[in-house]
């Protein structure tokens, strides 16, 4: 028996039905995206559609910066010029020494029969804006797959490692900073060659060395550089400086806090290292027995 009169106006399904429909659709999308990462194609299409909007959004800021740069006083420019010249001299010395040392290293490696390392190719990129996601520490840069950026490429600035490309879209890429909680960088202590893995510490903008025993030979002030054994980061890039080491014998691990070397939260220009380091594949037998632990996490989005 029908007790309610037919609706006066045609209004489609009831709001609750629509809510159930869209909520289940969203949850399905979430599950598929979080578990299987099969939506990257769709994500890339949508990101390309959003690209003009993003450029428009950042245009006023860029314009303001350009205007500010135009009106920079001459004295400021002069002093900056002088400082840069002095720095260039210093760097030139270092670079000459580096050239010589690199040539030596190549010769020695050839002697030792080691695989010849290719020079790393790099793509300069500009930071468009920080990722609008309070849960992850990311930035968006203005180079994408069309310029050869791939997910997994390391990103550096003039001082050291900034992070790793976690999503490469056609025109922009998302870079997860080394200070993100889930970002890991395999490092080596310059002083004694000790290998470790540096994790981001999240909001504090610092990094941690996790899972090191309390008696580990690390002290405050130690420089950490990439070890290069992961095949993602080329070796020898500065990553962080150890700030404090807390050794507590009752705990299983020491607490080692490090400050990132690069201007992770500063600067506008970065370099994306687009050549993958050449490492021979894992031996087949090893792979069968157990999946080898990967020092650098796969590009992974939270």
Partner 1 sequence: MTPDKPQHILRPVRVRTIVASFALALVADFLPWPNVSLAPDFVALVLAFWCVHQPRLVGLGVGWVLGLLNDAGNGVLLGQHALAYALLAFGAITLSRRIRWFSAPGQMLHVALLLAAAQAVEVAVRLAAGAEFPGWQVFVGPLVAALLWPVADLALLAPQRRPAEADEARAL
- What secondary structure letter does DSSP report for 213? -
Enumerate residues 56-95 that contact partner 1 by CB under 8 A. 56-58, 61
Which residue number, 167 or 242, has a Cβ lying nearer to partner 1? Answer: 167
Q: Which stretch binds partner 1 (CB under 8 A): 72-80, 126-134, 184-192, 271-279?
A: 126-134
Q: Check binding of 42 to partner 1 (CB under 8 A).
A: yes
Nearest CA among 245, 241, 187 for reference residue 214: 245
Distance CA(142)–CA(162), nearest Å, equals 16
Give the DSSP H or E segment for 155. strand 154-156
Query: 242 pairs with which residues across the strands?
Result: 258
34 binds partner 1 (CB under 8 A): yes
Query: In whole angstroms, what is the distance from residue 260 CA to residue 205 CA?
Result: 8
18 binding partner 1? (CB under 8 A)? yes
Q: Is 145 in the site for partner 1 (CB under 8 A)?
A: no
Q: Which among 174, 125, 136, 171 is positioned nearest to 152, based on CA atoms?
A: 174
DSSP string, 240-292: EEEEEEE--TTSSS-EEEEEESS-TTS-SEEEEE-SPP--PPPPHHHHHHSPP
Closest Cα partner for 296 from 226, 204, 248? 226
Nearest CB to partner 1, comparing residues 127 and 277: 127
Helix (H) or strand (E) holding 17: helix 15-36
Q: b/e for 213-228, b at 16 or more Cβ within 10 A? A: eeebebeeebbbbbbb
30 binds partner 1 (CB under 8 A): yes
Q: Which of these ranges, 23-31, 147-155, 210-218, 227-235, lies near partner 1 under the rule CB under 8 A?
A: 23-31
Q: Give the residue, chosen from 23, 64, 72, 106, that forms a contact with partner 1 under the rule CB under 8 A.
A: 23
Q: In the block, which residue shows the tokens 């999308």?
A: 29
Residue 101 interacting with partner 1 (CB under 8 A): no
Question: What is the size of the binding site for partner 1 (CB under 8 A)?
Answer: 47
Residue 181 sits in the site that holds partner 1 (CB under 8 A) = yes
Q: State which of residues 50, 64, 72, 105 lies at the interface with partner 1 (CB under 8 A).
A: 50
- Distance in Å, CB of 302 to partner 1, minimum: 5
d(CA 224, CA 242): 8
CB of 67 to partner 1, least distance (A): 17
Binding-site member from 19, 82, 88, 279 for partner 1 (CB under 8 A):
19
- List Cβ neighbours of 137 (8 Å cut-off, separation of 6 or more): 131, 176, 177, 179, 180, 183, 200, 202
Q: Is 136 a binder of partner 1 (CB under 8 A)?
A: yes
Contact residue for partner 1 among 43, 247, 255, 259 (CB under 8 A): 43
47 vs 162, which CB is nearer to partner 1?
Answer: 47
Answer for which of 125, 144, 163, 167 binds partner 1 (CB under 8 A) is 167
Shortest spacing between CB 14 and partner 1, in angstroms:
11
Query: Exactly one of 10, 132, 289, 291 binds partner 1 (CB under 8 A); which one?
Result: 132
Nearest residue to 279 via CA among 218, 231, 215 = 231
Residues that bind partner 1 (CB under 8 A): 11, 15-16, 18-19, 21-23, 25-30, 33-34, 39, 42-43, 46-47, 49-50, 53-54, 56-58, 61, 128-136, 138, 140, 167, 174, 181, 202-203, 301-302
């Amino acid at each position: 028996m029908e007790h309610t009169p037919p609706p006066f106006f045609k209004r489609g399904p009831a709001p609750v039905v629509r809510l159930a429909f869209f909520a289940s659709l969203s949850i399905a999308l979430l599950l598929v995206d979080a578990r299987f990462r099969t939506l990257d194609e769709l994500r890339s299409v949508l990101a390309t559609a959003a690209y003009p909007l993003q450029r428009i959004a950042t245009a006023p800021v860029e314009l303001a910066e350009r205007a500010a740069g135009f009106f920079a006083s001459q004295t400021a420019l002069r002093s900056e010029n002088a400082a840069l010249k002095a720095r260039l001299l210093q760097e030139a010395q270092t670079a000459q020494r580096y050239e010589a040392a690199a040539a030596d290293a190549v010769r020695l490696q050839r002697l030792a029969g080691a695989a010849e390392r290719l020079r790393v190719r790099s793509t300069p990129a500009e930071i468009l804006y920080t990722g609008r996601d309070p849960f992850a520490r990311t930035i968006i840069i203005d180079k994408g797959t069309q310029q050869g950026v791939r997910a997994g490429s390391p990103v550096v600035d003039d001082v050291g490692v900034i992070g790793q490309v976690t999503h490469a879209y056609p025109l922009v890429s998302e870079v997860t900073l080394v200070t993100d909680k889930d970002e890991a960088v395999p490092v080596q202590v310059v002083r004694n060659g000790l290998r470790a893995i540096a994790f981001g510490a999240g909001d504090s903008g610092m990094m941690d060395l996790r899972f090191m025993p309390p008696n580990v030979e690390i002290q405050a002030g130690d420089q950490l550089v990439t070890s290069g054994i992961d095949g993602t980061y080329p070796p020898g890039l500065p990553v962080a400086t150890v700030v404090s080491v807390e050794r507590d014998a009752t705990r299983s691990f020491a607490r080692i806090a490090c400050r990132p070397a690069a201007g992770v939260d500063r600067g506008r220009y970065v370099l994306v290292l687009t050549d993958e380091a050449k490492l021979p594949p894992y031996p087949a037998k090893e792979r069968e027995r157990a999946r080898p632990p990967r020092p650098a996490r796969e590009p992974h989005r939270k």
